[in-house]
Amino acid sequence: MKVRFETLDAFFSSDLGHRLQHQICSFFVKQKIHDIPSVLIGSELPFLTAFEKNTPHLIARINNFPEKNETFRPLYTFHSIPVIFASVLTFDDCQNCPLIIKEAARILKSKGFLFMIIKNTTLFQTISIQNCKEICHKHLLSQLKLNGFSVKNNHGLIYLPFNGKIFEKTENVLFPLNFKGGTFSLLGAQKKMFVNQSVKNFRSARMTKASVLTSPRT
């Protein structure tokens, strides 16, 4: 049986949406994010309950994405950010997911964290939210690794997407056990201190250095 929601707002106003917010809040209670300068990308709805308990210092909220193949101009002025929160749920979010990860790698400080909320691709989709899209979990992990991130947290969320107290209580037991899977996932990826350069990138860097050394000075 599939539960359908017309909007993201409608989902997060439902019992299932509140359960998801509660699970996200349970995770962030243990994270040191209070008053930490941070950037929020996408909808704030998944993080609302968490931010009430453990409030970061949001210095920017980005919810307007560029057209395909354009640069992510809203983040140009930022650098050395400790934490980025990203809810990658809508079609626009998902389309821009590779760009979000790339920009996060650029503006985060070394060992900074990118926390992402996604809706997983599953064999049976029991929650349908209009204008929301699923992401392949395995592909996302690969994208994070390619951009110099190490995944430190990988929590499945909403294992039993059904209304009812019995399902809610069961999930309260399952969530701390950190099983993989679930309708949604929360990932915490840390930017590595040093990103290994490919041979191609290394040669490019050497050519750039050489051209600087041999170019005439003004």
- CB-based contact 163:11 (threshold 8 Å): no
Q: Specify the range with the lowest mean pLDDT, choosing from 114-118, 162-166, 206-210.
A: 206-210
Residue 133 belongs to what domain range? 3-214
Cα 181 off chain centre by: 16
pLDDT score of 216: 46
Contact indicator for 53, 33 with CB cutoff of 8 Å:
no
Q: Are 216 and 134 in contact (CB under 8 A)?
A: no
Per-residue pLDDT tens for 85-141? 999 999 988 988 998 999 899 999 999 999 999 999 876 778 999 989 999 999 999
Question: Is residue 88 within 8 Å of 117, Cβ to Cβ?
Answer: yes
Token readout for 40 is: 């929020």
Which candidate, 161, 121, 113, places its Cα nearest to that of 140?
121
At 44-57, the pLDDT tens digits run 999 999 999 899 99
Higher-confidence position of 77 and 121 = 121
pTM of the predicted structure, to 2 decimals: 0.82
Which CATH number do you get for residue 193? 3.40.50.150
Longest dimension (CA), the chain: 75
The answer to whether residues 112 and 78 touch, using CB atoms and an 8 Å cutoff, is: no
pLDDT (average), residues 19-30: 92
pLDDT of residue 19: 92
Read off the pLDDT of residues 82-101 as tens digits, 9 standing for 90 and up.
Answer: 999 999 999 988 988 998 99
In angstroms, the CA 41 to CA 60 distance is: 8
Q: Could you give the number of structural domains in the chain?
A: 1
CB atoms closer than 10 angstroms to residue 80: 10
Mean pLDDT of the chain: 82
Which tokens is 204 given?
């490019």
* Alpha helices in 29-136, H assignment, sequence order: 48-53, 91-95, 97-107
Examine the pLDDT at 158 and tell me if it is beyond 70: yes
CA 199 to chain centre: 29
Containing 167, the helix (H) or strand (E) segment is: helix 165-174
Res. 218 pLDDT band, cuts 50 70 90: very low
Average pLDDT over residues 183-206: 66
Rounded percentage of the chain residues whose pLDDT exceeds 90: 53
